[in-house]
């Protein structure tokens, strides 16, 4: 790392003690900026780097709620409004017991550069809570969402900050939160949240967008080598929103996804995943991956080891941060994997990224590869603002165009800074320069 960025990194570590995921995300971006600052030293002036690593605003609040048995629980809510140079803060809400300030900060920081790559005029933010929706009734989830939104509603708005889903937050939760926002404000601000239901301001393709986008990104990377996904065996982790629609698009493009996972284990289905059954188990029944295996002859559930032990041509990590470490990366490489496209945020550890890059395979980092979700959120905001609704084909064509543009921007930036084919450098450099140019134009704010 260059001296000038090293100093900024050390300040981040000192100021945000113990927030290891945030340190990791900042380190990865700053490391990429060496060649950018060497070529354009003005990006290190005016404390620009110091400003970009410090959130504009950090909100933390109490979320009390009552369970079905009448017991009172207290969770912690977060919204990190990281950077508004390019537009209103934009980014999802995560409900998972592991959520803490460092995790939300890492996600908010990534979101700045991801959103810049989409070129849709959106700033970066993230939020959530350490609430665990697993095993909670609809009524409990509703009461939690209402309490969470009672505080969050003071801070958001269609031109201010526009949350959406992430782990543990999907259409059901967005619905409960939108209902409470509307009631508190007495205002039908459709554009205050994205990922809404289709009958009340949601966009077609938003549900599919992140998974579809990650597969389209893999396809674009393969096309630089004159190859495609056709006939490739795909290893997918996760069994939520991103994983399900990554599997769907991979199948549409002629590939064969053979795995998925949740926190209870992973499933190998050598015949190819039965997508309708997976959707029934996960989206309709909110069940576990074991429920799939019970109804699918030939599929097996593995509860020890890792999904990355399964050999395949393409890996799509779609579960959570740091789910793929250096050992897993080397196992994947030995199994013949030549493409990794990150559907999740920061799923590969630094050791895994290093192994992939050393091996020279196609590696698409999350902030580029999974940007289709937030990009389609911006399309939802555009439709809300125009009080209009596009059909599926129109929205999907726009998503496809945006993913191609993101891919091409990464390729161009990697070439410009002397590391052709390095999508990590490409994504960080292209995202950073777009935000940095506008921060400079806006003065010291």
- Token pair, residue 296, equals 């699918």
Per annotation, catalytic residue among 90, 105, 114, 126: 126
Closer of 75 and 111 to ligand 2IT (Cβ): 111
Identify what 344 binds: ligand NDP, ligand 2IT, none; CB under 5 to 8 Å per kind. Answer: ligand NDP
Please give the residue ranges that form the binding site for ligand NDP (CB under 6 A).
165-168, 210, 238-243, 262-264, 318-320, 343-345, 370, 373
Closer of 101 and 301 to ligand 2IT (Cβ): 101
Furthest-apart CA atoms within the chain: distance in Å? 62
123 counts as binding ligand 2IT under rule CB under 6 A: no
Identify what 320 binds: ligand 2IT, ligand NDP, none; CB under 5 to 8 Å per kind. Answer: ligand NDP
90 carries an active-site annotation: no
Strands 300-302 and 265-268: antiparallel
Among 53, 333, 374, 379, binds ligand 2IT (CB under 6 A): 374
Closer of 120 and 417 to ligand NDP (Cβ): 120
Closest alpha carbon to 194 in 168, 217, 166, 214: 166
Report 178-237 residues binding ligand 2IT (CB under 6 A): 194
398 counts as binding ligand 2IT under rule CB under 6 A: no
Q: Which residue is nearest to ligand NDP (CB)?
A: 240
Closer of 114 and 143 to ligand 2IT (Cβ): 114
Least distance between ligand 2IT and beta carbon 226 (Å):
30
Q: Which residue is nearest to ligand 2IT (CB)?
A: 92
Least distance between ligand NDP and beta carbon 261 (Å):
6
Least distance between ligand NDP and beta carbon 286 (Å):
9
92 counts as binding ligand 2IT under rule CB under 6 A: yes
- Token pair, residue 172, equals 């059901």
Burial category of 27 from C-beta neighbours within 10 Å (exposed 0-12, middle 13-18, buried 19 and up): middle
* Binding piece for ligand 2IT, criterion CB under 6 A, among 88-96, 176-184, 302-310, 400-408: 88-96
Report 293-352 residues binding ligand 2IT (CB under 6 A): 345
Identify what 180 binds: ligand 2IT, ligand NDP, none; CB under 5 to 8 Å per kind. Answer: none
* Binding piece for ligand 2IT, criterion CB under 6 A, among 21-29, 182-190, 372-380, 386-394: 372-380
Rounded distance between C-alpha atoms, residue 155 and residue 210, angstroms: 26
Among 373, 421, 426, 431, binds ligand 2IT (CB under 6 A): 373
Least distance between ligand 2IT and beta carbon 298 (Å):
33
Closer of 329 and 344 to ligand NDP (Cβ): 344
Least distance between ligand NDP and beta carbon 101 (Å):
16
367 counts as binding ligand 2IT under rule CB under 6 A: no
Least distance between ligand 2IT and beta carbon 202 (Å):
12
Burial category of 138 from C-beta neighbours within 10 Å (exposed 0-12, middle 13-18, buried 19 and up): exposed
Rounded distance between C-alpha atoms, residue 289 and residue 282, angstroms: 8
Closer of 108 and 168 to ligand NDP (Cβ): 168
How would you label 335-358 residue by residue, b for 16+ Cβ within 10 Å and e otherwise?
bebbbbbbbbbbbbbeebbebbbe
243 counts as binding ligand 2IT under rule CB under 6 A: no
Among 5, 28, 44, 90, binds ligand 2IT (CB under 6 A): 90
How many residues lie near ligand 2IT (CB under 6 A)? 12
Q: Which residues contact 305 (CB under 8 A, 6 or more apart)?
A: none
Q: Which residues bind ligand 2IT (CB under 6 A)?
A: 90-92, 111, 114, 164, 166, 194, 345, 373-374, 377
Return the active site residues: 126
């Amino acid at each position: 790392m260059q001296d000038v960025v090293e100093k900024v990194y050390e300040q981040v570590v000192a100021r945000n003690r113990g927030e290891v995921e945030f340190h990791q995300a900042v380190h990865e971006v700053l490391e990429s900026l060496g060649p950018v600052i060497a070529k354009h030293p003005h990006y290190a002036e005016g404390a620009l780097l110091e400003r970009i690593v410090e959130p504009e605003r950090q909100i933390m609040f109490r979320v009390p709620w009552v369970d079905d048995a009448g017991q009172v629980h207290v969770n912690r809510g977060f919204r990190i409004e990281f950077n508004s140079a390019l537009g209103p803060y934009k980014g999802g809400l995560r409900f998972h017991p592991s959520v803490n300030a460092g995790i939300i900060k890492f996600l908010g920081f990534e979101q700045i550069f991801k959103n810049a790559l989409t070129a849709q005029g959106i700033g970066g933010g993230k939020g959530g809570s350490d609430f665990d929706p697993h095993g909670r009734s609809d009524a409990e989830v509703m009461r939690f969402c209402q309490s969470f939104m009672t505080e969050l509603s003071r801070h958001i708005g269609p031109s201010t900050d526009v949350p959406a889903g992430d782990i543990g937050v999907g259409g059901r939760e967005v619905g409960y939160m939108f209902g409470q926002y509307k009631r508190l404000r007495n205002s039908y601000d459709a554009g205050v949240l994205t990922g809404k239901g289709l009958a009340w301001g949601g966009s077609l393709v938003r549900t599919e967008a992140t998974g579809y986008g990650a597969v389209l990104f893999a396809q674009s990377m393969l096309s630089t080598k004159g190859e495609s996904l056709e006939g490739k065996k795909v290893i997918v982790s996760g069994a939520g929103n991103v994983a399900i629609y990554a599997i769907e698009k991979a199948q549409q493009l002629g590939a064969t996804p053979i795995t998925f996972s949740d926190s209870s284990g992973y499933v190998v289905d050598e015949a190819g995943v039965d997508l309708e059954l997976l959707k029934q188990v996960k989206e309709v029944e909110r069940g576990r991956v074991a429920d799939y295996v019970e109804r699918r002859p030939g599929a097996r559930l593995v509860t020890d080891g890792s999904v990355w032990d399964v050999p395949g041509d393409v890996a799509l990590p779609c579960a959570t941060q740091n789910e793929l470490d250096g050992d897993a990366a080397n196992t994947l490489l030995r199994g013949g994997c030549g493409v990794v496209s990150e559907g999740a945020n920061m799923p590969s550890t630094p050791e895994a990224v290093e192994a992939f890059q050393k091996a020279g395979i196609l590696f698409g980092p999350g902030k580029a590869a999974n940007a289709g979700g937030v990009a389609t959120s911006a399309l939802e905001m555009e439709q809300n603002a125009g009080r209009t609704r596009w059909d599926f084909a129109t929205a999907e064509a726009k998503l496809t165009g945006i993913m191609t543009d993101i891919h091409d921007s990464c390729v161009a930036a990697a070439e410009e800074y002397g590391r052709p084919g390095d999508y990590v450098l490409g994504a960080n450099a292209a995202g950073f320069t777009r935000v940095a140019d506008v921060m400079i134009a806006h003065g010291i704010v």
